[in-house]
Amino acid sequence: MPFPRCLVCGSSVNDAGVDHVHRFPRNEQKSKIWQDAMGIKYIPGVSLKNYSICSRHFTVCSYLNRVTGKLCANAVPTLLPASSVGLQSPSEQTLETPSTPPRSIFRGIKGLSAADTTPRKQHLMNLVKSKEAHIRKLKKLCRKKTSDIKSLTNIGDSTVVRNVFRGMSSVTTDFLISQLRCAKKSPRGRRWITQDKVLALALFKKSPKCYRLLRKMVALPSKNTQLAMLL
């Protein structure tokens, strides 16, 4: 199990100059006094009993026994090490300089502004931010691949399909592409370009009976579609 870290400076008992790590008092009033002394913004109803503070913030007088780490009943942390001043600045500093705007994921979460973070929190926030950036990159890649796939399915404009039909007349190419495009569509879902309609009209004018027979074999515009073009 990892050693508890100081909420103010992020140190643990493993670090130099830290002899003990003390829990914040369960008593709310006492906890508030500690928080005020350390420049931590007090939020009513939010207990810091699960958070700790290291011995570097207590004067020697605060201890009943320095060896065992027993604090006086009215001990209050008063020392702010230079390294933690920037991290846990007094509240007035927070008011003067706006904290860095949190990323969308951290928006609305209290205690994550630059003034309230500990090194561990900062590290985790950076980790989340980097993962978020990675997800954004992947989403962008997904969008690009999706549009690539869509453009592939649009066979009418596909150069690959055009190359397959290379050497055929433009009428044949247009007809074959229209068949490919409309093969999986329901009759009402088919869309025709002008060339398709012109070819269909030519066939229909030649022989309406033959056109009806052809419509049973291949996808061709209906009579109404042709009439709509003429109007």
Where on the chain is the footprint of Zn ion (CB under 5 A)? 6, 8-9, 11, 54, 56
Least spacing, CB of residue 9 vs Zn ion, in Å: 3
Q: Which is nearer to Zn ion, 4 or 102 (CB)?
A: 4
Q: Which is nearer to Zn ion, 83 or 97 (CB)?
A: 83
Determine contact, residues 177/165, Cβ cutoff 8 Å. yes
For residue 20, which amino acid is it? H
Q: Which is nearer to Zn ion, 12 or 222 (CB)?
A: 12
Task: Give the span between the Cα atoms of 46 and 10, in whole angstroms.
Answer: 20
Determine contact, residues 8/53, Cβ cutoff 8 Å. yes
The token pair at 124 is 């985790």
Residue nearest to Zn ion (CB): 6
Least spacing, CB of residue 19 vs Zn ion, in Å: 11
The token pair at 38 is 């350390």
Q: Which is nearer to Zn ion, 6 or 40 (CB)?
A: 6
Determine contact, residues 53/25, Cβ cutoff 8 Å. no
Q: What is the DSSP letter of 34?
A: H
The token pair at 95 is 């008011």
Least spacing, CB of residue 45 vs Zn ion, in Å: 24
Task: Give the span between the Cα atoms of 223 and 211, in whole angstroms.
Answer: 10
Least spacing, CB of residue 140 vs Zn ion, in Å: 42
Q: Which is nearer to Zn ion, 38 or 112 (CB)?
A: 38
Instruction: Give the side-chain half-sphere CA count within 13 A for 155.
Output: 16
Least spacing, CB of residue 95 vs Zn ion, in Å: 23
